[in-house]
Every structure is written in structure tokens, then in C-alpha cells.
Structure 1
Amino acid sequence: MFSARVIASCVLSCWLGAAWAQGTPPAKPAKPAPAASAPAAAASAAGPRAPTENTAELDEVSRLMRAGKMQEALVLADAVVQSYEDRYRRGKVQVFASRSPAEAQAYLNEVGRTPSPGKQAMEAGVYPSTWGDAYYLKSFILTEMRRFPDARKAIEAAVALAPHNAAYRAELGQLLLKEKNWDEAAKEFKRAEADAREFSPPSVRGRELARALRGQAFVLVEEKDLDGAEKLYNECLKIDANDPVAKAELRYIAQKRGHKPSSAAATK
């Protein structure tokens, strides 16, 4: 039954819709206000995302991945990553990759907090989400190649660029599940849940929220908390009544208990 319980990474076509929902245009490094918190939310509501730097290259990376040409895809993803690193990683400037104005402002506000005694105030620059997406795709490719330590480094780089990107957080949680690091995985999925509720663009919020909830529930099952896991999987069904993973997991929980799932939807 374990094979049915593995939380697989999203199918690439679904991932593209979730991860590339409109990026904000590049912003010059700017000093944030002294006191004040993946693609842009407004643009996602308006329609297809506008092209930003390197989107064509990332589209090609996805094409290569669909064709099974992982090594070629990795080389191109690395090139996109390096192009951003070369252009925007400037000395003391703290860099971020944002999907929406609200997310960008959150980063500027957090950097702009009063520094600790003896610490220098940081400047921040906010750039397109394609920078983080390149790292995310790189992690996806490396995971497919079973290079898990390298995949984790890549997704951690994406999270560092976009700490409030729920998709990146959930992918990090996914890799921690592969390591059976339940405690750390649960922390990342909880952060992903909070970020999905507050920062995910409307077009992908439900999908990213459900993924974060499923990750937490998976850990709860491993920790024998079937009641807690069942509650979270039923929340997933409220988001999407046809969620196949949530349904399968509820059936698995029912089998562990020896009775039918509490949710009628899970039996369909």
C-alpha cells in the first residue's frame, strides 16, 4: 500500500501552471521603508502572464523535461540561474524573487526592520519569479535524476529567494519526506500552508494549499495520528472534491482502522 501513499511531485503541466503564474518585472535594488510584509496576482486574474526575462528559456526547459532530455534541461536551467546570479547578486543587496506585489512588499518590509545593535541595515532588490522558478525546475530535474542532495540545495536556493512561495516550500518538504525527516518536513508544509493562504496568486492558491495540507497529513499518518491526518485530507476535498491523493489516503486510513472512510467523497 505504500506505493499508493507516496506523494509524487506534480505532473509537469500542472506544475507549470502553479509555479509560473505571472512574475513581477525586475525592480532596481531599493532601500525599504524603515518600518513595515509564484507569476503576479493581479496579472493572473487578468489573463496569461506577460513575458519576463528568461521565460522563453524556462519554457524550453519544460519542453526538454517532457521529452525526457533531463541532462539538456539541467544545462539550460543552470544557464538561466547563472544569468540571474551574474546580473543581480550584488554585494550587500538582499535579493528576492516575487510572484506578486504583496509578496514583494513583504520581503522589503522584513529586510527593512530595525537592525540589531552593531548590524548594518540591508538594502533589498526584488526580481522576477523566473529566477526562483529556474532553481525550482533545477531541483525537479535533479530529483528525477535521483540526485537528491543536489536537488535539495537547488530548492533551498529557491526558498532563500522567495521565502513566502508556497510551491517552493512544499517542494522542500517533499524532499525532506524522501529523507524521512518527518519533523522538518512538517515544518515546511506548515509554512507552505500559511504562505499559500496569504501570498499564493488566486489562480493557484487552492492547488498550493492542498499540497501543503497533504504533506502535513502524510507526516501525521507516519506518526500514527490518523484522526489528524483524516481531518486534513477532508480539508483537501473541500478545496477539490476530486483530489485523487486525498481520496486514496482516506481509503488507506480507513483500511488501517478497519472501516469505511468518514468522508463519503473518499469512497467514490
Structure 2
Amino acid sequence: MRAQVAFGGLAGILAMCVAGAAHARTDGTAHIIPPAALVVGAFDNSATPVSRLDAKSQVDQGFDLIRQGQQARAVKLFDKVIADADRQLAGDARPRLCAQTGAGAALLDPAVCDAHFGKGYALIDMGRGDLAEAELRAATRMAPGNAHFANEYAELFKARRAWAESYAEFAHAWSIVDKSPTGPDAKVAARALRGMGFTKGQMGQYDEAAKLLNQSLQYDPASEIARAELGNIARREAIGS
């Protein structure tokens, strides 16, 4: 049975991680990753690939399996991608980044981060939130510019009522997301602000919570979630709880 984690809907996640074989970026554009190296040289993007595993194809199949309710099979495909990266980087102490550039880092195909994220999502579906945390953390840390990943990681802490940790991850998502209210990432920004507002409300910081929730409505004016939470905060303030 799915743990109580509001992961924003599988359809939305699949749209960001799978549709068009594209990997979401915080500027809202799609960066198409061709079947190529899983790991490339840290400073030379023309380096000879050290692996010919089609990581993106494996990840796409994994998300298809999640959509079909076959989470355990999806985990096996995601593990294949993760294990290949680990094998290629055995003994390499450099930090790992799913990015095009990064001085001093081992650069990974973005599909590797998607594999960690997908594995975490599948494990949540399987009721293994304890194991999912490490995967979602890995995806977030290896793709530090991906606000969508940060929002999802924050949701895990929110489900555990770990308000400070949840707020910190939502705040990280807000710090890196494109902040144009009419931009393609507007709903990702709104979600980060809603999460920050919700956690502030749970910590009894009602004025700050209301401010953040109202701000989120600038990015997603139709959000019933934000309006409902504003109502909850108003009631709590009225009764002094």
C-alpha cells in the first residue's frame, strides 16, 4: 500500500521524466539525451564513452512499468542503470553530477539521476519509504539544479512530519527554480512555495505560512490545495491552536 506521500501524481512525474525521452530542467526546456555514454570525462564532453548501456531507454521502460503497476520489475531496471554507473566509477572518489559541466566531478548521463528518482518512487509505492529516502536523496544531490527532484524529496519528510527537514528541501527547490509566474516551471515553483507554507503552518508560524501560500497563488492561481490550507491556517489562528 502506498505510503502517505503526496508525490504530485504519477502522471505529472512521468510527463517530466519520460515524455518525449526528455529530461526536465529547471528552465522548463527539454534536453534530449541520445543513447550514449553513461559516464563521460569530467572536463572533456567529447570523451570516448566508457559504457554503451542505453541508460535512457532502461529508465523509460522502468517508468512504463511503474505506470503499469509493476514496481518491482521497474526497480530491477533502475538498479541496472545505477549498477552500471557504480561499476564504471569504481574507485573514483570525485562527486557525481548529472550535468553537462562540473569541475572536479564525474559527469553522469541524466538518466542515472532519473533511475535513482524512479527507484525511490517505486519503493514508496511498495511501502518501502525507508529505502526510498536514499534514492531520492541521491537524485537530488546529483542533480542539484532539479527543483522537481527537490520537491519530491521534501514530500518524503512532510509525510514523516519532519517539518524542518521538509521545509529545507522545499526551500532548496524554490531557490533553484525559474521564478517567472508565467514561465514553464510556474507549477513547480508554486509547489515549492506551498510546501514551505504548509510546513511553516505546521510549525505554528502562521503569518509566514500565509505569506508563502498567497505567494504560491501567483504561480498557480487555480490551486485548491493552497486555498484550503489558507483556510486551515485562518481557523487555527482564530481558535489559538
TM-score class normalised by the smaller sequence: 0.7 to 0.9
Q: Conserved in 2, the CA contact under 8 Å of 1:23 and 1:128?
A: no
User: Which residue in the other structure is 2:148 paired with?
Assistant: 167
Matched ranges for 1:115-154 at <5 A: 123-154=104-135
Quote the Cα distance in structure 2 between the aligned partners of 1:7 and 1:167.
15
Q: Conserved in 2, the CA contact under 8 Å of 1:132 and 1:158?
A: yes
Quote the Cα distance in structure 1 between the aligned partners of 2:156 and 2:95.
26
When residues 150 and 235 of structure 1 are mapped into structure 2, their CA distance, relative to the original with a 3 A threshold, is same
- 1:95 and 2:96 correspond: yes
User: Which residue in the other structure is 1:210 paired with?
Assistant: 190
Consecutive unaligned residues of structure 1, counting only runs of 5 or more, are 1-5, 33-51, 99-103, 113-122, 260-268
Which structure's relative contact order is higher, taking Cα pairs within 8 Å and 6+ residues apart? 1
Q: Which amino acid aligns with 1:208?
A: V
When residues 28 and 78 of structure 1 are mapped into structure 2, their CA distance, relative to the original with a 3 A threshold, is closer
Matched ranges for 1:44-59 at <5 A: 53-59=54-60
- Over the matched positions of the two proteins, sequence identity in percent amounts to 26
TM-score (norm 2): 0.76
Q: Which amino acid aligns with 2:82?
A: V
Quote the Cα distance in structure 1 between the aligned partners of 2:115 and 2:89.
15
The equivalent position to 1:191 in structure 2, one of 169, 172, 177, is: 172
Question: What's the CA shift for 1:130?
Answer: 1.1
Please give the per-residue CA displacement for 1:184-223, whole angstroms capped at 9, x wherever unaligned.
221111111111138xxx63x2222122111111111101
Q: Give the root-mean-square deviation of aligned CA atoms.
A: 2.6
TM-score (norm 1): 0.69
Consecutive unaligned residues of structure 2, counting only runs of 5 or more, are 18-22, 25-29, 45-52
Task: Name the count of aligned residue pairs.
Answer: 211
Would you identify which runs of 4 or more consecutive aligned residues in structure 1 move more than 4 Å?
23-27
Question: What's the CA shift for 1:243?
Answer: 1.8
Higher helix share: 1
Please give the per-residue CA displacement for 1:224-258, whole angstroms capped at 9, x wherever unaligned.
22221122112221112112321221232233345
Q: Secondary structure at the match of 2:211?
A: helix
